[in-house]
Structure 1
Amino acid sequence: MRVAYTDWGDPDGPLVICVGGIANTARRMDYLALDLSRHFHVVCLDWVGRGMSGWMPTQGDYTLETNVESMIQLLDHLDCSRASIIGSSLGGSVAMALAARHPEMVERLVLNDIGFHMPAERRRRRAEAVARHYAFKRPADLYRRLGASAKNEGPVTEDELLHNTYFQTQWSDGHGGRIYRHDPRALQAYAEDAQVSLDQREDWDKLSLPILVLRGMVSDALLPETVEEMITKPDVTAVFVPNTGHTPSLSDANQIHFLREWLLGRGPDAHFTCLNPPSTPRHLFGAAPPPPPPPPPPPAPGA
């Protein structure tokens, strides 16, 4: 089975593996990988059935266990025994499972809008959205799709959204346009699995490593009460991204800066942080910092 990935930075540097959601490709991580590659060896993986990776023989082969095994084989292929992992949505679920079963393989863990629990009705709603078939016959069709994505991916530029959407698709002569670059059976397998709640409590309870949790503040996937419980575990930091749903893009400059500093061990010693603070009042899970003091008055003339 062919498993594709993009490779950034110095191969001798500390390894960071980036893995995306159910319908993402490795190219979604380009902006993040470009920045992190100044400090790390960054590898971004296409899940089997997505992007440039091969398709599984049957729909039943698309499982969490298959993806965990892909991660293990990737580390073996790279001749590396340990990595930090950034996982968005499905990628975070797989990373949690890997870290629980093979703690020696994971140094630090970033969970992008995913926790140990997601209610079944929210999973079903997401499954219905991602399992729809789209054929983009004109550039304008892609732009319309961007509008639907923008409310979820947050405060990023149109260029970044177009980049992500473009690399999720490929030209199809049969459809006369661009279609998503994935095996439809992979998404159907997810839709069937989404009939029940996500429950990774057993995996979560086994984790004992530095963990960064990002939550889009209007996300319906990672609930506030789940985050509140997650931060009771030692060495867990929670970050809230305003005006963002499921999932934060990880291409926004502020998000990238925060992730880089945290991976380098220079992140804030705080459970709650808000990126891109909104100009209007908004409920946050922590006290807002006091405003800076006013500048001193200028000296009087002739003083």
Structure 2
Amino acid sequence: MLADPAGRSIFISAPDGLKLHARCYGPRSAGRTVVCLPGLARTAADFETLAAALAAPGEARCVIALDYRGRGLSDYDRDPAKYNFHVELADLQAVLTALDALPAVFVGTSRGGILTMLLAALRPTALAGAVLNDIGPVLEPKGLMRIKGYVGKLPEPRSFGEGAEILRRLFDAQFPKLTGEDWLNAAHRTFKEANGRLVTTYDPALAKTMEGVDFEKPMPPLWKEFEALRHVPLMTIRGEHSDLLAAETVDAMAQRHAGMERLEVADQGHAPLLAEPEVIARIATFVAGCEARPRAAQFAVAAG
């Protein structure tokens, strides 16, 4: 049986005083840490199954899943302009410092993977390893346009069942094998009750982060930031139906990081749920391998 499967909430002050929420699983004193970073409009709840498995009894590991500002149980920002990578990277570092969580293996889904690359470039010794979930240095415009089309614009459902149907209609092409129960669980992660209504678990003002993006022009690639991962173990996960991370990009990533482990999740798109036993087992094996590396090897990047 998993210990503390639902985790426990911890609140940390951001550099500007805003309250940030993190969900922690396993003993804080474990000495081994995994940090899970969600996507743009996602929350720590996305990692509940994975985190509980990685922090199972006997693992001696702490797993921390973060809610960015404006998401989940973190405070919403009165200034939507602060929903940007610069501020979120500073928030992340504040949380990591407050929880004494470094070095850690990072699991970053979509936006969380970009933050992982940015952190590696800024503070390379912070990472003992990295899992990039359906994200890479090159973002496909089709996927970005799809995300822009729904973030902050979801209809307000009258019930979680109706919310499940809304999500199914939007994402069935990306996740054709999900069951009715899966969609209902997704609805509970996407919507919350507030004042007798069901609203999203994120600030709708997040939509402003994608205003002004010209999808006719390629997004600046992040190869320089990706290169910052070259000295740590890396695993890249791609959904078979992903429209944000192209298979060709994963090939190019593997050429630049010779030891990169690859996993493609069948019948899923952007972004894989990381909840299936076989996927969790692959991630757990990868994480254990990162933790087994000699400490000197983990910090070789400092002299590289």
For the aligned pair, the TM-score class normalised by the smaller chain equals 0.7 to 0.9
SS of the residue corresponding to residue 189 of structure 1 reads: helix
Amino acid paired to 1:184: P
Corresponding residue pairs, total: 265
Contact 1:124/1:194 (8 A) holds in 2: no
Percent identity, please. Answer: 24
**Could you tell me whether the CA contact under 8 Å between 2:139 and 2:244 is conserved in 1?**
yes
* Residue 164 (1) aligns with residue 186 (2): yes
Alignment correspondent of 1:31: 49
* Offset from partner CA, 1:157-191 (integer Å, 9 cap, x none): 54444333213222233xx5311021122232134
Corresponding position of 1:250: 274
Q: CA deviation at 1:126?
A: 1.9
Q: 5 Å matches for 1:14-93? A: 14-38=32-56, 39=59, 40-93=61-114
Residue matched to 2:197: 177
- SS at 2:130 equivalent: strand
**Cα distance, 1:136 vs structure 2:** 1.2
Q: Which amino acid aligns with 2:238?
A: R
Instruction: Quote the residue 1:207 is aligned against.
Output: 229
Asked if residue 11 in structure 1 is aligned to residue 31 in structure 2, the reply is no
Gaps of 5+ in 2: 1-17, 291-304
Q: Could you say which residue in structure 2 is the equivalent of 1:219? A: 242
Shift of 1:81: 2.8
Secondary structure at 1:35 match in 2: helix
Shift of 1:156: 5.3
1:147–1:4: structure 2 CA closer, same or farther, 3 Å change rule? same
Bigger CA radius of gyration: 1
SS of the residue corresponding to residue 110 of structure 1 reads strand
Query: Could you tell me whether the CA contact under 8 Å between 1:124 and 1:191 is conserved in 2?
Result: no
CA distance 1:125–1:142, change in 2 (3 Å) = closer
* Counterpart amino acid of residue 29 in structure 1: F
Give the direction of change, closer, same or farther, for the CA distance of 1:65–1:261 in structure 2 (3 Å limit): same
CA distance in 1, matches of 2:52, 2:214: 33
Per-residue Cα deviation, 1:267-294 (whole angstroms, up to 9, x for no partner): xxxxxxxxxxxxxxxxxxxxxxxxxxxx
Residues 74-100 of structure 1: per-residue CA shift (max 9 Å, x gap): 111102331111010111111111112
- Matched residue SS, 1:99: helix
Specify whether residues 215 and 154 from structure 1 end up closer, same or farther in structure 2 by C-alpha distance, changes over 3 A only.
farther
Gaps of 5+ in 1: 267-303
Alignment CA distance shift 1:180-1:75 (3 Å): same
Contact kept in structure 2, 1:84 and 1:106, CA below 8 Å: yes
- Paired residues for 1:179-194 under 5 Å: 179-193=199-213
Tell me how large the CA RMSD over aligned residues is: 2.1
Task: Name the CA distance, whole Å, in 2 between partners of 1:257 and 1:137.
Answer: 37
Return the alpha-carbon distance in structure 2 between the equivalents of residues 85 and 121 of structure 1. 27
Q: What TM-score do you get using the length of structure 2 for normalisation?
A: 0.81
